[in-house]
Amino acid sequence: MFIAQEAIRAKRDGKQLQDQQIKQFVDGITQQSISEGQIAAMAMAIYFQGMDDREKATLTLAMRDSGDVLDWRSMDLGGPVLDKHSTGGVGDVVSLMLGPIVAACGGFVPMISGRGLGHTGGTLDKFDSIPGYQTAPDNQLFRKTVKQAGVAIIGQTGQLAPADQRFYATRDITATVESVPLITASILAKKLAEGLDGLVLDVKTGSGAFMAEYAQAKELANSITSVANSVGVKTTALITDMNEPLASAAGNAVEVKLAIDYLTGNHRDPRLHEVTQALAVEMLLSGGLASTQQQASTMVDDALNSGRAAERFARMVTELGGPADLLENPEQHLPKAKVIRPLLVKDTELVADGYIQAIDTRALGMAVVGLGGGRRMATDSLNYAVGLSQLSGLNRLATGDTELAMIHADSDEQWRQAATAVANAYTVGSKPAKAQPVIYQRIEE
């Protein structure tokens, strides 16, 4: 007979949990026979005592199997089922371009994404800024869109890894979110429920990342790749920089517009392009669509330059209820803020005629939250029009007329508050900062 408190006691005392104990504990979470207090106690025990790879794999699979696991074999897709997960950041709009790029190269991407968390923007929130787009379609429409467009980016349904939803909600209010074993199981339970053939992780490190320290990011990347590969899903990870926003925009509609400009070739931020291309290469390699990095890179360039990636994005938007002419006329469909004005260096207390030496990227994310573009509480509603665009990056020469950001606000007062927050996030000095790589390391099994 399974007794939850005995499993909690064992982990509290630093013992390894038996596979059956883990499975029964997860079953209890799903069936509501285990209390919130017991979930909290187990989460705290794991936070302090950790888990080995066997325990992490067992927990991951148990949470995956707590609900539906998608099976694509009956649909004869004709290509591998692939996905990517990012640990989140500011200006991380990669998913909007990456899914369509991989689809244009022969992959199929059933990307189940989340909403914003703290200072980080959520992929679903970005899509919610597109009129008519369904982020919660029924299973039939989801599968049809994956088949027709090659990519569908939607939210987690109640049938996918429901144990994780309850477990995470308790972790969120008990200061146990940062546990590497629990993060590993939470991410992989949802991703493996998609029925994937391959997965790539984008693990962020820096001032705008949850794993701000490089050692933390590497530990998480190693944990996820090890567990995912051990359960049969080919997985690699890239550790990427988040010491400045990845893109020159942060918000919802402003990031959708930036993604459209990227796909159509109107404008591509260099750092954003480097990360997007590298992740696409990893996905093509993991799915067997390319045999070398050079071949995969050429395929990515062709998908973008030919317009096929943009076509896949447009088809996905249309299939899921969005406007058919979004790519051609984004300004007609995306919400626009009431006040849109630049913040210049001369309008701040920053030293002019220097270089941008540091950026508090988290503070920029919180500025978007302050504008109403992110949540302080899970129940908050969003203003999809607000945000920051034309953000200055590290080592830019800052003169009086240099634009730190274009602020999209709902009122003059909100604009002023955001301007103060944005100015405080920048440090200007006489010398450039030491250049950091955009991609620090690639990690595989």
Active site residues: 83-86, 123, 171, 186, 190-191
Under 8 Å between Cβ of 219 and 225: no
CA distance 413 to 339: 10
No. of helices (H) and no. of strands (E), the chain: 17, 13
- Report strand pairing: 397-398 vs 354-359: antiparallel
Q: How far is CA 183 from the centre of its chain?
A: 14
CA distance 358 to 434: 10
CB neighbours of residue 408 within 10 Å: 29
Under 8 Å between Cβ of 193 and 161: yes
- Structure tokens belonging to residue 273: 């392009």
- Phi and psi based region of residue 115 (left: phi greater than 0; alpha: psi -120 to 50; beta: remaining): beta
Burial track 258-288 (b if 16+ CB lie within 10 A, e otherwise): bbbbbbbeeebbebbbbbbbbbbbbbbbbbe
> What one-character DSSP code corresponds to residue 201?
E
CA distance 263 to 308: 9
